[in-house]
Amino acid sequence: MEGVLAIFFIFGGGTAFLLAISPIGRAIADRIRGRGLGGADQPIRFLQDNYDALLEEMEGLRHEVVDLQERVDFTERLLASNRDRAPLPGSPNVQD
């Protein structure tokens, strides 16, 4: 019985050591520590980063829409002022 127990500890200890230094063992250790992909705060951090990026992009789009609205207003005023002006004498638009 003692021989079986000794073999079990030798091979079990060697397997545990090899697992500990392998990438799989490191991934398991990181997950236990909460730093791996499955960490509790990882999805929250990912969502917060995406939320912040979306807010920045929306703010930029708001500025662009305001700029475009100002340009449309300017163009409308320009076109309206051209319609209100009386045509010059001798221009092709003047009906005799």
Query: How confident is the model over 21-32, as pLDDT tens digits?
Result: 888 888 887 778
State how far the Cα of 94 lies from the Cα of 96, in Å rounded to an integer: 6
- Domain positions in the chain: 1-39, 41-84
Residue 77 has pLDDT above 80, yes or no: yes
Chain-centre distance of CA 16, in angstroms?
Answer: 40
Query: How confident is the model over 78-89, as pLDDT tens digits?
Result: 988 877 676 667
Q: CB of 25 within 8 A of CB of 19?
A: yes
pTM score > 0.95 for this model? no
Average pLDDT over the chain, rounded to an integer: 80
The helices-and-strands tally (H runs, E runs) of the chain is 3, 0
Helix H or strand E encompassing 44: helix 42-84
